Amino acid sequence: MKSSTCIGISSMKPCCRFLVSYRSSSIFGFSPPKMSRSGIRNLSKSLSKAVDRRRLHSCKHSKSQIVGYKCVADPNRRAFSVSGSSWGQSRVFSDSFRVDKGRSRGVLVIPRVASDFRNHSTSVEHHVNEKNFERIYIQGGLNVKPLVIERIETGDGLVKEDNTGINVSESDVNTNNVEGSNLTEPRIEREVSEIEKEAWNILRGAVVSYCGNPVGTVAANDPADKQPLNYDQIFIRDFIPSALAFLLNGEAEIVKNFLLHTLQLQSWEKTVDCYSPGQGLMPASFKVRTVPRDGSPEAFEEVLDPDFGESAIGRVAPVDSGLWWIILLRAYGKITGDYSLQDRVDVQTGIRLILNLCLTDGFDMFPSLLVTDGSCMIDRRMGIHGHPLEIQALFYSALRCSREMLTVNDATKNLVAAINNRLSALSFHIREYYWVDIKKINEIYRYNTEEYSTDAINKFNIYPDQIPSWLVDWIPDEGGYFIGNLQPAHMDFRFFTLGNLWVIVSSLGTPKQNKDVLDLIEAKWDDLVANMPLKIIYPALESDEWRIITGSDPKNTPWSYHNGGSWPTLLWQFTLACIKMGKPELAQRAVALAEERLAVNQWPEYYDTRSGRFIGKQSRLYQTWTVAGFLASKMLLQNPEKASLLFWEEDYELLETCVCGLSKNGRRKCSRLGPRS
């Protein structure tokens, strides 16, 4: 037995193969830990079983350095494999490799230590050289016998879930891995409406398979669309609501496959004008392509083709993809109870690479991330370059996720310290300088300018004339919100919905600020919700402002698309925020509005006009994240205890050690009760 065969742990099926994507790939560059004789015997038995199963699939491994995944495909298979509704009839929960019933998981392969931030799971402590391991991923380990749970739809509109698909004895499942998992919970029948049934059929019809395994959902799946453009790709940000819908419905396999496949695509060395993306960058999207194999015109292989922005509008690399990936990774563990995925060496390395990219020192003096226009959900020129709220809220969420999931050891202790420092500084910065309410606006209205001292009140030299006329009459007496952007001599006072919702979800704002944001949405319901939830930005850019800031963008005309359009996919994030703040009735009101129109209008991507009455003029129909956002909202409202797994409460321990201001005496701590006036 070669020593290299016991390096990694994976439950992915063997027909897929991983090819190393880096120029300097000394295949793994470290030796596996020593095993006892009994451990070798047990491992040999497991390997022989895995080899027997692998004989059912043939996949020719290449020795050349080629980027991405490839898999030999049957010549009769379609290039773009989209499964039908029958795909959701079974759900596979794969346990990690079990060496012995009496042993903890994977002890013969990788030693593990307890994490300081998660009481109910363990983490990986990899015994490798840090420098050599920075550019290594591990894939294709040992298979396990899956537990399949069948999903049965009855004629009376009820969904029953049973475990009669495959009989698995107690010895076949490592209970250490599934402790606290949904697998041990009794299944509860729930009523499903006709609209939800239609939504599930659309969602499952959008599923894309790679080497026979579901790996994601296309952005839109309109059969009448003759020019899908890039809507036939799997976008990381678009798949998040789909992933949550599947997870909340007990279907975890597709989410696990998505997380692992996108991880292997991380930092692929494509270039734009001879520049490579930074190491750790996640692609914006990827597509499954079928290409002929070299030297065999009748044989084909499937390839994952990622897009890092070189094909996007404006050729902008996605900043939010890696942040969303980390957030989804935590959600997977929280909902399924399976933390073995987080503990994998390759996953731990992926988290570190993303964080190293985000925490790299530069010229910027702010704790917030400096990004260009078009680097997030608003992927066109909309004047959000600088430090947009959406990125800061997702960044804060990803940092909190990483603090929970990272293994704490000598290799990561400096990174964990950097995370804690950035969390405290970012929390203070957003709460102090991004927050506006009637009191704060009146304070800005009376600002002095050209203040040069460290004690200056107007630290960013904001000119009072920047306060827009619409804001003076629009801001309510009760409530407030976080502005869209802050830069020297510039405050973007537009209301950005996604950023404000994630401030609530992640507790980036204080409890009072979070409450005030929802109070403002309720008070300005006709402006921010109206006929279809929710406005992505309020208000829209019009006239000269639209021409100057957007460059006369014909798609972002006033009250359309990103410029004040209404996006139903924001519904699940609004629901999550409402449940956290104890206002589920607001979410129910919004879901009821969407339920009246979405199915009738064929699930469009966005709506136009100030009140959201018209389907977007360039809106794709059967938009997947519209469907998934609706389903996730319904399930979150029906199971609010699941919602509590997806948001964060105020971290008072973090605030106790928060260093966030300068005074004559040096550093000082901020108040946990709220931002300084």
Contact (Cβ atoms closer than 8 angstroms) between residue 16 and residue 211: yes
Least confident of 144-158, 210-224, 247-261: 144-158
What are the two backbone dihedrals, phi and then psi, of residue 28, each rounded to the nearest 5 degrees? 80, -35
Average pLDDT over residues 504-525: 98
- Tokens in use for 339? 């933390």
Distances from the Cα of 345 to the Cαs of 47, 70, 128, 291, 644, in angstroms?
20, 22, 10, 31, 28
- Length, in residues, of the chain: 677
Predicted TM-score (pTM) of this structure: 0.75
Amino acid of residue 306: P
Confidence of residue 298 (pLDDT cuts 50, 70, 90): confident
Tell me which of 336 and 125 has the higher pLDDT: 336
User: Which residues does residue 666 pair with via DSSP β-bridges, in sequence order?
Assistant: 663
Q: What is the largest CA-CA distance in the chain?
A: 78
pLDDT at 277: 72
**Cis peptide leading into residue 370 (ω within 30°):** no
Number of neighbouring beta carbons within 10 Å of residue 636:
26
Least confident of 287-296, 316-325, 578-587: 287-296
Q: Which of 439, 326, 431, 495 is nearest to 650 (CA)?
A: 431
Average pLDDT over residues 608-614: 97
If phi over 0 gives left and psi between -120 and 50 gives alpha, with beta otherwise, what is residue 211? left
Amino acid of residue 430: I
Long-range contacts of 436-445 (CB under 8 A, 24+ apart): 436/475, 436/480, 436/481, 436/482, 436/483, 436/493, 437/475, 437/479, 437/480, 437/481, 437/516, 438/475, 438/476, 438/477, 438/480, 439/677, 440/480, 441/467, 441/471, 441/472, 441/475, 444/491
pLDDT at 371: 95
Task: Please give the angle made by the CA atoms of 60, 61 and 63, to the nearest 5 degrees.
Answer: 140
**How many Å apart are CA 588 and CA 577, to the nearest integer?**
12
Give percent above pLDDT 70 in the chain.
67
Residue 272 burial (10 A CB sphere; 0-12, 13-18, 19+): middle
Residue 375 burial (10 A CB sphere; 0-12, 13-18, 19+): buried
List, in order of start, the domains of the chain with CATH numbers: 206-671 (1.50.10.10)
Give the up-direction half-sphere exposure of residue 239: CA atoms within 13 A in the CB hemisphere. 34
**How many Å apart are CA 148 and CA 167, to the nearest integer?**
8
pLDDT at 509: 97
pLDDT at 272: 60
What DSSP element (H or E) covers 396? helix 389-405
**How many Å apart are CA 435 and CA 539, to the nearest integer?**
18
**How many Å apart are CA 153 and CA 197, to the nearest integer?**
10
pLDDT at 349: 95
Residue 62 burial (10 A CB sphere; 0-12, 13-18, 19+): exposed
| Three-class secondary structure of residue 126 per DSSP | coil
**How many Å apart are CA 168 and CA 50, to the nearest integer?**
17
Confidence of residue 426 (pLDDT cuts 50, 70, 90): very high
Least confident of 312-316, 482-486, 541-545, 591-595: 312-316
**How many Å apart are CA 168 and CA 183, to the nearest integer?**
13
**How many Å apart are CA 157 and CA 193, to the nearest integer?**
7
pLDDT at 613: 96
Average pLDDT over residues 262-267: 89
Composition of the chain by helix, strand, coil, percent to 5: 35, 15, 45
Confidence of residue 98 (pLDDT cuts 50, 70, 90): very low
Average pLDDT over residues 339-358: 96
Tell me which of 235 and 144 has the higher pLDDT: 235
pLDDT at 362: 87
| Three-class secondary structure of residue 619 per DSSP | coil
pLDDT at 273: 66
Contact (Cβ atoms closer than 8 angstroms) between residue 498 and residue 464: no
Least confident of 40-49, 204-213, 508-517: 40-49
Average pLDDT over residues 519-542: 98
Using CA atoms of 280, 281, 285, 291 in order, give the dihedral in degrees to the nearest 10.
-60
- Tens-digit pLDDT profile for residues 394-415: 999 999 999 999 999 999 999 9
What DSSP element (H or E) covers 19? strand 17-19
- DSSP E strands: which ranges in 22-171? 68-73, 81-82, 90-93, 112-114, 122-124, 147-153, 158-162
**pLDDT at 666 exceeding the cut of 90:** no
- Tokens in use for 501? 């919702």
Residue 565 burial (10 A CB sphere; 0-12, 13-18, 19+): buried
Tell me which of 225 and 484 has the higher pLDDT: 484
**How many Å apart are CA 549 and CA 381, to the nearest integer?**
7
Least confident of 135-149, 228-242, 326-340: 135-149
**How many Å apart are CA 385 and CA 372, to the nearest integer?**
4
Q: Which of 638, 330, 654, 402 is nearest to 507 (CA)?
A: 654
Confidence of residue 18 (pLDDT cuts 50, 70, 90): very low
- Tens-digit pLDDT profile for residues 51-97: 444 433 433 333 333 344 455 444 333 333 444 433 433 333 333 33
Using CA atoms of 336, 337, 342, 344 in order, give the dihedral in degrees to the nearest 10.
-100
If phi over 0 gives left and psi between -120 and 50 gives alpha, with beta otherwise, what is residue 374? left
Confidence of residue 149 (pLDDT cuts 50, 70, 90): very low
Tell me which of 604 and 28 has the higher pLDDT: 604
- DSSP E strands: which ranges in 104-204? 112-114, 122-124, 147-153, 158-162, 190-191
Contact (Cβ atoms closer than 8 angstroms) between residue 109 and residue 236: no
Long-range contacts of 537-544 (CB under 8 A, 24+ apart): 537/378, 537/382, 537/484, 537/494, 537/495, 537/496, 537/497, 537/562, 537/563, 537/564, 538/494, 538/495, 538/497, 538/564, 539/470, 539/494, 539/564, 540/564, 540/610, 541/382, 541/383
**pLDDT at 548 exceeding the cut of 90:** yes
**How many Å apart are CA 457 and CA 104, to the nearest integer?**
57
Amino acid of residue 94: S
Confidence of residue 576 (pLDDT cuts 50, 70, 90): very high
**pLDDT at 293 exceeding the cut of 90:** no
Average pLDDT over residues 287-310: 89
Contact (Cβ atoms closer than 8 angstroms) between residue 379 and residue 371: no
Contact (Cβ atoms closer than 8 angstroms) between residue 541 and residue 549: yes
